[in-house]
Amino acid sequence: MRKTIAISLALAAALLGLGVPTAMAGGQTIPWGAGCASIPSGGIRTSASCGASLVNGRAIAPPGAPEAVVRVIAAANQINGRPYVWGGGHASFLSKGYDCSGAVSYALHGAGLLETTMVSGQLAYWGDAGAGRWITIYANAEHVFMVVAGLRFDTRDDRPGVRGPRWKMAAPEARILPAFVARHPAGL
């Protein structure tokens, strides 16, 4: 499986001209979909050093990602692009559309990290506090989204008429983060 993912990532990188993270002004790097940065011998790959790639709207897990991360990404890819439906994904994980918490719950469930759906307010208390190395869930009483291996999975409409679960290469806006608590699955 990892060999297949590594080959897929290498092919996608070659086709799209992706490589190691590019530096911005001030030396800040872009981890979103930019491939893997070199790490010291014995270092641990995290989403900061090896972000997922986004190809045709679908996420590709980076090489060396933990199996749970690969499965969260695969599950999120299954519902990526579905319509936004308030309450969608709560009566059953299988739904024609998903709201924010239904989408996040579906992806976490796909990796065996969550047994049942939760609303955003419940996800604000789920898992361990703080940002994770691979998965960070940002939740409050009204909305939830997550960042997985550097890619954002969110239902928020960034463009008029585009709503529903989608992968985005954009980092969460600094101005909105104080309204959310960061949580993560244990060990991730």
The CATH number assigned to the domain holding 81 equals 3.90.1720.10
Mean pLDDT across 26-52 = 51
pLDDT at position 13: 34
Return the closest-CA partner of residue 100 out of 115, 110, 87.
Answer: 87
Task: Kindly give the residue spans of alpha helices, DSSP state H, lying in 29-174.
Answer: 67-79, 100-110, 120-123
Check: CB of residue 140 under 8 Å from CB of residue 179.
yes
Rounded to whole angstroms, the Cα distance separating 66 from 170 reads 22
pLDDT at position 17: 32
pLDDT at position 78: 97
Q: Can you give the pTM of this predicted structure? A: 0.75
Which residues contact residue 157 at a Cβ distance below 8 angstroms, ignoring those fewer than 6 apart?
A: 84, 163
Q: How many domains does the chain have?
A: 1
Which residues contact residue 168 at a Cβ distance below 8 angstroms, ignoring those fewer than 6 apart?
A: 151, 152, 153, 154, 158
Residue 135 neighbours by CB distance under 10 Å: 27
pLDDT at position 91: 87
Taking the CA atoms of the chain, what radius of gyration do you get in angstroms?
16
Rounded to whole angstroms, the Cα distance separating 105 from 115 reads 9
pLDDT over threshold 80, residue 87: yes
pLDDT digits (tens, 9 = 90+) for 145-171: 999 999 999 998 767 777 899 998 877
Strand partners, 188: none
Structure tokens at 36: 């893997």
pLDDT over threshold 50, residue 96: yes
Residue 65, burial from CB neighbour count under 10 angstroms (0-12, 13-18, 19+): buried
Return the closest-CA partner of residue 63 out of 81, 28, 37, 92.
Answer: 37
Residue 67 neighbours by CB distance under 10 Å: 12
pLDDT over threshold 80, residue 98: yes
Q: What CA–CA distances, in Å, run from 73 to 25, 38, 109, 130, 168?
A: 30, 23, 11, 20, 13
pLDDT over threshold 60, residue 16: no
Domain of residue 144: give its range: 2-184
